[in-house]
Structure 1
Amino acid sequence: MKDVQINKIAVVGTGVIGNGWIARALAQGFDVIATDPAEGAEDRMREAVDRAWPSLTKSGLAPTASRERLTFTSDIETAVEDADLIQENVPEREELKRKVLQTIDTFAKKDAIIASSTSGIKPTVLQQDCMYPERVIVAHPFNPVYILPLVEIVGGEKTNSSVLERAVAIYEKLNMKPLVIRHEIEGHVADRLMEALWREALHLVNDGIATTEEVDAAIIYGAGLRWAQMGPFLTFHLAGGDQGMRHMLGQFGPALKLPWTKLEAPELTEELKEKVIQGCEQQAGNTSIAELEEKRNEFLVRLLDLVEEYRTESESIS
């Protein structure tokens, strides 16, 4: 890991993702300053951190971890002026993000890294209004940010390669697994994969082939269990027997030409929306969202321990 000095992290936007970043940074022992113009944002932020803290405690807190290291201001200039890393998390609207990033770029110190949590917009688009675009990147996390370690690091046309190297080192200090995307593309990598599965899932529900519960079961008790350890490529490598992927592609490759899946998403009609909504509500039953989040967090903490136990040195992504 490249040695980098990082003292303060600024988080701009305190929605679900922003608060996840805050909780993770605090748990790793950093000073965090957050900003959000919305009324009641500070109270919601502190409540979110408190809810995340039990899961972070189970995962293991840094010796210097403390919720007391969190401050809040409604003034974005004050928030970013002396931060080493600024993580932007405003709503996923290109015009708004560009405006906010331009403001951050104006007031941040010149050696600060400015990162957007965008799930789909290219960094080249986001950095075009900035005076110092070379330090603007995408650092896309996954919900819940305070538990899931993957962060996709993406540079734009004007991003300096040294900034990407520093970013990787910083996110490793946040106990994350940085994945540097070689070429920027809408949706990056992980969301494009999830989007393909989501489109097919909607078709299956729309066509009456399976309910939301049945689709979830197909992943939970099938592909999901294997993917948590190996991902799709090594899973198929094993499916090829002793010859691995070589046999797999020879045996099952032709099936890729069969029209099993649909590339385009179905029209999101009112009927389809109700099928999905009612299906999810039936699955959840009387369990509240807060209770579901608590169960999810407990499961993910235990699952990550198991994933790390079975990973090999050759499986590092950074």
Structure 2
Amino acid sequence: MHSIKQVTVVGTGVIGNGWIARFLSQGYDVFATDPDPTAEARMRSSVDRAWPALEKLGLAAGASRDRLRFDPDLAKAVASADLIQENAPEREELKRSLLAQIDQHAKPEAIIASSTSGLMPSILQADCTHPERIIIAHPFNPVYLIPLVELVGGEKTSPEVVAAAEQFYQSIQMKPLVISAEIEGHVADRLMEAIWREALHLVNDGIATTEEVDAAIIYGPGLRWALMGPFLTLHLAGGEQGMRHMLEQFGPALKLPWTKLKAPELTEKLSNQVIDGCEQQTAGHSIAGLEERRDSFLIELQQLLGKYWPGANLNGNM
């Protein structure tokens, strides 16, 4: 029922263009649509910038940028798609309306996936005639290199659609994480948000600069998290008794007021501190140059992860 040969990407911002590059690199025909008159030129430029990294990572048989088509007409773009990936801005009313339009024009067996980072699928599918084929497939930037995609079904999403989506994203070299219950922000963004809030407090309180906060992650927990994540990292910190000893020893510290999970007020002063700090950190480097460096690093890091931890966990599955 869900044989996927052609995909359509709706919305060609950073995330949409990342999806386009990944789909093309995996040998798919891709149809893209966006009402912005400058969208096609920006889209093709974005794919061209991503392509060298994808060539380094390895292209699937038949992968070609020539298999990309663009049409500003939404109905035309989604009509023949087997899977539609929606990437509109994170505004509930806009996404609900757009998904309802896609649902109206897509063929009955097509899967409709939203890249939303925070909205819940039951809300997004509420206005659709066929809500059973609406699913969240939330990726991470750069989509063409980062393998994680969070899959979340709504109250009316068919289990068959969830299973088919999981199989499809696995087939394009991603690591789908099927989340069993709806929650704002899903899983990974909630974890990143907690660190982001604490980082803002550290800068706001004059404890550390943006560069020092970044260094604290890069040269400390970030190295370990890339291999094991927070739970197994702490499991090893417990010695031979693992997490059992870790919780006995440090569990009481969870009651101490070490963290400030409520976000600080984003005042003009704090905003300027964060902006100025990031600009100082990247002085003399273009964003394009930093993206190239990031992409090369991510390719080598994933190769290293595969060498030391196949599948990124103990049993080789997500």
Mark yes or no: TM-score above 0.5: yes
Q: What is the Cα deviation at residue 315 of structure 1? A: 4.3
Please state if 1:101 is matched with 2:114.
no
* Aligned mate of 2:148, from 147, 150, 153: 150
> How big is each residue's C-alpha offset from its partner over 1:45-84, in whole Å with a ceiling of 9 and x where there is no partner?
0000000000001111001100000000000001111101
Partner of 2:117: 119
Q: Which SS does the other structure have where 2:220 is aligned?
A: helix
Partner of 1:16: 14
* Aligned mate of 2:196, from 172, 195, 198: 198
Partner of 1:35: 33
Distance 1:177 1:316 in 2: 11
Q: Which SS does the other structure have where 1:146 is aligned?
A: coil
Partner of 1:310: 308
Please state if 1:265 is matched with 2:263.
yes
Alignment of 1:237-256 (within 5 A): 237-256=235-254
Distance 2:262 2:210 in 1: 19
Q: Which SS does the other structure have where 1:74 is aligned?
A: coil
> How big is each residue's C-alpha offset from its partner over 1:208-232, in whole Å with a ceiling of 9 and x where there is no partner?
0000000000000000000000000
Distance 2:226 2:310 in 1: 14
Partner of 2:229: 231
| Equivalent residue letter for 1:300 | L
| Equivalent residue letter for 2:126 | Q
Asked if the contact 1:4–1:170 (Cα under 8 Å) also holds between the matched residues in 2, the reply is no
Identity within the alignment, %: 68
Partner of 1:298: 296
Distance 2:236 2:2 in 1: 39
> How big is each residue's C-alpha offset from its partner over 1:222-275, in whole Å with a ceiling of 9 and x where there is no partner?
000000000000000000000100111111111111100011000000000000
| Equivalent residue letter for 1:167 | A
The two structures, once aligned, show a CA RMSD in angstroms of 1.0
Q: Which SS does the other structure have where 1:229 is aligned?
A: helix
Distance 1:262 1:36 in 2: 40
Please state if 1:214 is matched with 2:236.
no
* Aligned mate of 2:283, from 282, 285, 293: 285
Asked if the contact 1:179–1:317 (Cα under 8 Å) also holds between the matched residues in 2, the reply is no
Partner of 2:51: 53
Q: What is the Cα deviation at residue 316 of structure 1? A: 3.8
Partner of 1:92: 90
Distance 1:312 1:243 in 2: 25
Distance 2:142 2:150 in 1: 15
5+ residue gaps, structure 2:
none
Distance 1:97 1:4 in 2: 24
Asked if the contact 1:80–1:108 (Cα under 8 Å) also holds between the matched residues in 2, the reply is yes
| Equivalent residue letter for 1:144 | P
Distance 1:4 1:51 in 2: 31
Asked if the contact 1:9–1:84 (Cα under 8 Å) also holds between the matched residues in 2, the reply is yes
Distance 1:206 1:164 in 2: 42
Partner of 1:188: 186
Q: What is the Cα deviation at residue 40 of structure 1? A: 1.0
Distance 1:218 1:237 in 2: 21
| Equivalent residue letter for 1:11 | V
Give me the TM-score of the superposition, normalised by structure 1: 0.98
Runs of 4 or more above 4 Å deviation: none
Q: How many residues in Structure 1 have an aligned counterpart in Structure 2?
A: 316
